[in-house]
Structure formats: structure tokens, C-alpha cells
Amino acid sequence: MLMIRSTKDFWAGLIYVFFGSCTVIIARDYDMGIALKMGPAYFPTLLGYLLAFIGLVSVARSFISHGAPIGEIAFKGLLLVIASVLLFGFFVRRLGVAIALPLLVMISASASDHFRWRPTLILAAGLTAFCYFVFLRGLGVPLPIWGSWFGG
């Protein structure tokens, strides 16, 4: 019976196969050209096949040789950190740095097991002031302090 002996190899292999085959399939829309005069599809197609092949080898290997388990996944950290960044991107022009930045700090910081409100609020306030003076005023990063939702 086939058994996955190395989950790392298995999943990494699947990712390679996925990206490799997508690369090849999408490249079909582009001009292939010939070796003498390569079109936009030539190099990507080569790479795509190569990547998919490496992926297949990795998947095959996952059934043969043992590997270390993937280990626990930090779902809380992953979710909160990524969500905080995405929300910052969404809100930064709409609400402005004055609100979006503390929000980013609070959400991302809450991913920690050692999260405490007081020091984190102080950090959020300090970072907002720092970024305002250094990045917005000092380096002229074009971000509003109050966003478009406040008519800023």
C-alpha cells in the first residue's frame, strides 16, 4: 500500500507540480518562437516542465523515504499577522495612518502569547508618532494621517 512517509516532501512536491503546470498552461497563450528567436513562452515553458518534474520526483520520494514531520503550525500567528497586514493595506488610505497603524500593531501583537494591553497600546501610540514624523513628514511618504473616509 502506498503510504506518505515524508509529508514535507509530499506537500512541497505538490506545490512545485502546481506552479510548474500552471506556468506551462498559461504559457500556451504566449508565442513560443523557435530556439533561434525565442518567444515569450519559450523560457517559461522549459522552467515549468522542469519545476513540475522536480515536484513529481519529490512526491514520489515522499512515498519511499522517511522524513521529519511538518510539526505544529502556528495558525494563530499566521492568521493574525497576515490579516493585520492585509487590513492595514486596505485601511491605510481610507482611515489614514492615525487609525490603520495602531490597528496593525494591535492585531499583529495579539498573536503573541505574551500579549498585554497596556504596553501594546503604548507601543502603538509611539510607533504611530514615530512613523508620522519620520516617514510621512521626514521622508515624504504620501500617506494621509486621516484617510478619505474622514474627508482627508
Partner 1 sequence: MELIANLELGLETALTLGNLFYCLVGVFLGTAIGVLPGLGPTATIAMLLPLTFTLPPVSSLIMLAGIYYGSQYGGSTTSILVNLPGEAASVVTTIDGYQMAKQGRAGAALATSAIGSFFAGTVATFLIAAFGPPLAAVALEFGPADYFSLMVLGLVASVVLAQGSLLHAIGMVVLGLVLGLVGSDVTSGAQRYTFEIPELADGINFVTVAMGMFGLGEIIRNLESEPQRSVIITKITNLMPTKEDFRRMIAPILRGTLIGSALGILPGSGSILGSFAAYSIEKKVSKNRDQFGKGAIEGVAAPESANNAGAQTSFIPMLTLGIPSNPVMALMVGAMIIQGIQPGPSVITEQPALFWGIIVSMWIGNLFLVILNLPLIGIWVRLIMVPYQLLYPAIIVFTAIGVFSLNNREFDIYLMAIFGVFGYVFAKLGCESAPMLLAFILGPLMEEYLRRAMLISRGNPWVFVQRPISVTLLALAVLAMLAVSLPSFSKTRSEAFKE
- Closest approach, Cβ 5 to partner 1, in A, equals 14
Residues 74-113 that bind partner 1 (CB under 8 A): 74, 76-78, 81-82, 84-86, 88-90, 92-93, 101, 104-105, 108-109, 111-113
Surface-to-core class of residue 106, CB atoms within 10 Å of its CB (0-12 exposed, 13-18 middle, 19+ buried): middle
Binds partner 1 by CB under 8 A, chosen from 5, 21, 61, 98: 61
Examine residue 142 and tell whether it contacts partner 1 (CB under 8 A): yes
Examine residue 149 and tell whether it contacts partner 1 (CB under 8 A): no
Examine residue 114 and tell whether it contacts partner 1 (CB under 8 A): yes
Residue 82: alpha-carbon gap to chain centroid? 8
Closest to 23 (Cα-Cα) out of 54, 50, 44: 44
Kindly write down the DSSP assignment for every residue of 37-52, as one continuous string.
Answer: SB-TTHHHHHHHHHHH
- Closest approach, Cβ 150 to partner 1, in A, equals 18
- Cα separation, 63 vs 51, in Å, equals 19
Examine residue 55 and tell whether it contacts partner 1 (CB under 8 A): yes
